[in-house]
């Protein structure tokens, strides 16, 4: 036998892309530049294994990676050059950190010999990103690329998911070595695998048995842990009602009799009343965000709190728990359900909570979500409700993904679209990033070509990444945009009305000297070769919505809505249920 062929030396850029393929990545969102050109050249050599989608702005690419990650549960990967390309990822990284989204942002960097000299398009992006990433790497040697990428994927996806940035100098991309693709991984300080003990779970059951008015407060951690079916089983076995955070929507079926919909600042009145009166709060996969709690000292003060979360830094951070449990909420729910099956006497008979459910039903009947509909205009809540009803009547809810920008339309979508399953709803919750909706929908569409992906947006948010219509057309991603156009920054305007005597401080987005709404979004969409239409009359809405849904390519439906409408109910920031604004 002859000698074995010697291993072939390959470039750092090729090693990087091979590492992505080895991790099961099938799509990357990448915008090229000087310091990342070798990476893009390598991508062309792997195009049979890896789809490269070209966004029209790096921020768009980062949000696409988030939409991909949230719709699949896998890592979203985005790539940019150094300097301004890297800094355009900052908002995306902060967004992913706040909302616990597993993305890996790969940035080109100037050559190692000029780092620190203020070279052309140099920024110290690792230093810039340190507080807004779960972890960060400035690669020092080409030999380190396989280890760094293996660690980056592990860190992004294990424990509480989050963003990792990998900064790769250009000379290391070009250098050729013989790689070792599966190096040992040694992260001695990183131990994300935590599990609730049986004793802790027995304590939960003891607290449930002592309770008369329990409530489940469930958040995005349920979806991250793929625990939605286990949450439903636990709620149905125990008869405990469920209130959801904005990121928890879809973790429990919206039409279920135990579902109280969203709680918090713009949550349902009955969900907020229930939280306020509960004697036991089972807080699963949540972080007690200020948009939920309002005045922390008054939030859920009548009840004992059980808090389960994978991230130890969240335990007792905002609200002290009577039973704090650092562990995987999915595993905890599976174990809880198994223990009930073992011994049904661990939980009380559902009749123990019958008086509580009667009270909740009374609140639900007396204080439903409502708005003053009009015949002479399309109310934004009506537009969302009709779209949801049409999709529901077609039996397509589970095959429809909804994203939003940030503002009034975001909250109306959360209120009036009843999500039945997880990973069908993505919004920028913690950071509140306008411009999120369209690129996030594109990322989800890339991952799910057969699903309908709808961006419910506002004119302010839509303008912030409108250039991604070019990506929609060129990459054949048939995203639908329901554009609720009120010519204003609606949520800021609402606060002006409520707290600043309606003094308009640069919240009007139109051109006041013109009679027509400004800008002309349908003409802009058609300039990108996307279809679109305007609708202003209520009687035309249903046909317009159906045309949008049935269109084969990307579509922008510009719905002209009154600007005077407010998102209600509303608990003002830092206030309590007693301060809730109903009208």
Selection from 506, 510, 475 nearest residue 492 by Cα: 506
Residues with active-site annotation:
58, 120-121, 170, 491
SS (H, E, C) 481-537: EEEEECCECHHHHHHHHHHCCCCCCCCECCCCCCCCCCCCHHHHHHHCCCEEEEECC
Selection from 489, 549, 542 nearest residue 383 by Cα: 542
Residue 79 pLDDT level (bands cut at 50, 70, 90):
very high
Q: For residue range 190-221, what is the model confidence (pLDDT) as tens digits?
A: 988 899 999 999 999 999 999 999 999 999 99
For 154, counting Cβ atoms within 10 Å of its Cβ (0-12 exposed, 13-18 middle, 19+ buried), the class is middle
Q: Is the pLDDT of residue 2 over 50?
A: no
Could you count the other beta carbons within 10 Å of the beta carbon of residue 387?
27
Residue 4 pLDDT level (bands cut at 50, 70, 90):
low
Q: Are 244 and 233 in contact (CB under 8 A)?
A: no
Q: For residue range 94-111, what is the model confidence (pLDDT) as tens digits?
A: 999 999 999 999 999 999
The pLDDT mean for the chain works out to: 97
Please report, rounded to a whole number, the percentage of residues in the chain having pLDDT higher than 90: 97
Residue 514 pLDDT level (bands cut at 50, 70, 90):
confident
Q: Given this model, what pLDDT does residue 5 score?
A: 60
Please give the domain boundaries of the chain with CATH numbers for all domains.
10-177 (3.40.50.970), 198-366 (3.40.50.1220), 380-560 (3.40.50.970)
pLDDT mean over 297-304: 94
Q: Are 187 and 211 in contact (CB under 8 A)?
A: no
Please give the Cα distance from 203 to 201 (Å, whole number). 5
Q: For residue range 400-435, what is the model confidence (pLDDT) as tens digits?
A: 999 999 999 999 999 999 999 999 999 999 999 999
Q: Given this model, what pLDDT does residue 280 score?
A: 98
Q: For residue range 308-359, what is the model confidence (pLDDT) as tens digits?
A: 999 999 999 999 999 999 999 999 999 999 999 999 999 999 889 999 999 9
Residues β-bridged to residue 280: 214, 304
Lowest mean pLDDT among 6-10, 80-84, 107-111: 6-10
Q: Given this model, what pLDDT does residue 380 score?
A: 98
Q: Token digits for 174?
A: 């070009």
Q: Is the pLDDT of residue 161 over 90?
A: yes
The structure's pTM equals 0.97
């Amino acid at each position: 036998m002859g000698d074995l062929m010697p291993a072939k030396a390959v470039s750092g850029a090729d090693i990087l892309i091979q590492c992505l393929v080895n991790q099961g990545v099938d799509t990357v969102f990448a915008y090229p530049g000087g310091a990342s050109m070798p990476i893009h050249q390598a991508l062309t050599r792997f195009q049979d294994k890896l789809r490269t989608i070209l966004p029209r702005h790096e921020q768009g690419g980062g949000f696409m990676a988030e939409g991909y990650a949230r719709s699949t549960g896998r890592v979203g990967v985005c790539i940019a050059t150094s300097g301004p390309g890297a800094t355009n990822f900052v908002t995306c990284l902060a967004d992913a950190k706040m909302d616990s989204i597993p993305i890996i942002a790969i940035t080109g960097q100037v050559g190692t010999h000029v780092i620190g000299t203020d070279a052309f398009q140099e920024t110290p992006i690792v230093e810039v990103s340190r507080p807004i990433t779960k972890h960060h790497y400035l690669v020092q040697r080409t030999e380190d690329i396989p280890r760094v990428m293996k660690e980056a994927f592990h860190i992004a996806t294990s424990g509480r998911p989050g963003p990792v940035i990998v900064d790769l100098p250009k000379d290391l991309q070009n250098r050729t070595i013989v790689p070792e693709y599966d190096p040992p991984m040694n992260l001695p300080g990183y131990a994300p695998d935590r599990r609730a003990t049986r004793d802790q779970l027995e304590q939960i059951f003891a607290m449930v048995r002592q309770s008369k008015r329990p409530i489940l407060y469930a958040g995005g951690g349920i979806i991250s842990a793929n625990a939605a079916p286990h949450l439903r089983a636990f709620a149905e076995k125990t008869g405990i009602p469920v209130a959801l955070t904005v990121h928890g929507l879809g973790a429990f079926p919206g039409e279920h009799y135990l579902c109280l919909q969203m709680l918090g600042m713009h949550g349902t009145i009955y969900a907020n009343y229930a939280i306020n009166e509960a004697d036991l709060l089972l807080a699963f996969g949540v972080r007690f965000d200020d948009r939920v709690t309002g005045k922390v000292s008054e939030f859920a003060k009548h009840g004992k709190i059980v808090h389960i979360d994978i991230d130890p830094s969240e335990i007792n951070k905002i609200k002290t728990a009577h039973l704090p449990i650092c562990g995987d909420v999915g595993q905890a729910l599976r174990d809880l359900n198994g223990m009930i099956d073992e011994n049904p006497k661990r939980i009380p008979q559902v009749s123990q909570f019958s008086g509580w459910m009667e009270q909740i039903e009374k609140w639900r009947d007396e204080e439903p979500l409502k708005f003053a509909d009009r015949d002479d205009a399309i109310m934004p809540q009506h537009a969302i409700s009709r779209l949801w009803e049409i999709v529901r009547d077609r039996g397509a809810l589970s095959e429809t993904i909804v994203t939003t920008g940030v503002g009034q339309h975001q909250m109306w979508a959360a209120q009036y679209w009843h999500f039945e399953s997880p990973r069908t709803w993505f919004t920028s919750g913690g950071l509140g990033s306008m411009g999120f909706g369209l690129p996030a929908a594109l990322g989800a569409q890339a991952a799910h070509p057969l699903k309908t992906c709808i961006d419910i947006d506002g004119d302010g948010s839509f303008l912030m990444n409108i250039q991604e219509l070019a990506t929609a057309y060129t990459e054949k991603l048939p995203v639908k945009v329901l554009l609720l156009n009120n010519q204003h920054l609606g949520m800021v305007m609402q606060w002006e009305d409520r707290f600043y005597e309606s003094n308009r401080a640069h919240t009007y987005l139109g051109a006041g000297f013109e009679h027509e709404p400004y800008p002309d979004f349908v003409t802009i969409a058609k300039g990108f070769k996307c279809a679109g239409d305007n609708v202003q009359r209520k009687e035309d809405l249903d046909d317009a919505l159906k045309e949008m849904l049935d269109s084969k390519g990307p579509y922008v439906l510009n719905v002209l809505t009154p600007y005077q409408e407010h998102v209600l109910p509303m608990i003002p920031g830092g206030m309590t249920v007693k301060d809730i604004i109903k009208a």
